[in-house]
Structure 1
Amino acid sequence: MNIKAKLSREKLTGDLHELLKAHLNLDDDREITDADTFIELGADSLDMVEMVLATEQEYNFDMDDDALEKAKTVGQFLDLVQRYV
C-alpha cells in the first residue's frame, strides 16, 4: 500500500469517527474500531441514512444503496466510502 492511500484511509477514518461521535452523541473518548457494528454504536436505520447523506455531501458522491446494505461495520462502511473518494 502506498503512503498516499494509507494517509487517505487514515483521514477518512478520522473524519468518519468524528461524524459518528457527533451524530450518535458518543463520548469523545469512545474508541471506535473498524470491527464495531453500527448497532453496537447505537445507530438505528434513520441514523444510518443521515450518516450516509452527511458523508455523501462531505465528499460529493452518491453511494450505491445495494452496497450500503452490506456495510454492517465501521470498517465495511469505510471500505465502501473509499471506493468513491
Structure 2
Amino acid sequence: MFICFYRQASLNDGAERFYTQAANLRPKYPAALMNLGAILHLNGKLQEAEANYLRALELKPDDTITQSNLRKLWNIMEKQGLRTLAP
C-alpha cells in the first residue's frame, strides 16, 4: 500500500527505499526484484536496474513484463552509450 502511494505521488526516492527493503527481505522473489529494477530505471540508475531485472529473470525467465522492461532499458542504455550486461 505505501509503496504504491510513493510511486503514484512521484516520490521515487522513497519508493526506491521501500523496493530495496522488499528485495532485501525476499531476494528470491522475482516481483520484488522486477519492481526494484523498475524504480531504479525511473530514477536513472540504469545499470543497477539492469542487474535487478536480470536477477528477476534468472528466477522467473518467462516473465514478459520484466523482459519488456529490460528491452526498453537496453534501448535507453544503447542510446546513452552505456555498456550492458547483455550476453
Q: TM-score scaled to structure 2, two decimals? A: 0.28
Structure with the larger helix share: 2
